[in-house]
């Protein structure tokens, strides 16, 4: 299953990059276009920061952190023997989104953003949404499909036992 996750992550990267090529070719010259009035505008933005334009002009920091993050995620993917579809979906979305924006940072010095929702003003891209959706899915997986809270309960119970035995 980890190989399938990498394959799907590559599909996300390919989709992200093809869309960005089209955005640069067709949207950059005009700047912005209303796609769905009152809901979605396509706006060409060269984002030198992180998500939503935060921490602008930290290109090499973001490149280094993203490379480390991707390596760690891939190691976790192959090391842990998790079979959950939610976990795998989260992993391919996060990996694909991270690598999609990493490619932009390395080759352009900025990330091409183009999606602006009327109710969410920051301009984003497919890779950004994949990362966000992947993180939400990972949180759902950790909180509801693992023994995350049970592990904490066991730790506290063991601490109480240890304290009681020392008294």
User: Is position 57 annotated as part of the catalytic site?
Assistant: no
The C-alpha atoms of residue 115 and residue 117 are separated, in whole angstroms, by 7
* Sites in the chain below the pLDDT cut of 70: 51-54, 151-159, 162, 166-167
pLDDT of residue 158: 66
Angle at which helices 126-145 and 85-108 cross, to 10°: 150
Catalytic hit among 104, 128, 147, 150 = 128
Of 72, 125, 63, nearest in space to 95 by CA? 72
Does the active-site annotation cover 128? Answer: yes
Amino acid 149: pLDDT: 72
Q: In what order do the strands lie in the sheet with 111-117?
A: 32-36, 40-47, 111-117, 120-124
Residue of 106, 131, 121 lying closest to 53 (CA atoms): 121
Q: What is the pLDDT of residues 96-109, one digit of tens each?
A: 999 999 999 999 99
Q: What is the pTM of this model?
A: 0.84
Catalytic residue among 57, 104, 113, 147: 113
Whole-number pLDDT of residue 147: 84
């Amino acid at each position: 299953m980890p190989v399938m996750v990498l394959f799907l992550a590559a599909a996300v990267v390919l989709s992200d990059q093809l869309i960005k090529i089209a955005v640069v070719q067709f949207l950059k010259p005009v700047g912005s276009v209303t796609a769905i009035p009152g809901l979605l505008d396509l706006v060409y933005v060269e984002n030198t920061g992180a998500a939503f334009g935060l921490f602008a002009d930290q290109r090499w920091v973001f490149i280094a952190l993203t490379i480390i993050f991707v390596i760690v995620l891939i190691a976790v993917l192959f090391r842990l023997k998790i079979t959950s579809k939610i976990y795998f979906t989260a992993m391919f979305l996060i990996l694909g989104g991270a690598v999609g924006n990493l490619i932009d940072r390395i080759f352009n010095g900025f990330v091409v953003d183009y999606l602006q929702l009327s109710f969410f003003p920051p301009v984003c891209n497919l890779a950004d949404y994949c990362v966000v959706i992947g993180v939400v899915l990972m949180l759902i997986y950790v909180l509801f499909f693992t023994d995350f809270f049970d592990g904490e309960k066991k730790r506290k119970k063991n601490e109480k036992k240890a304290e009681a035995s020392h008294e």
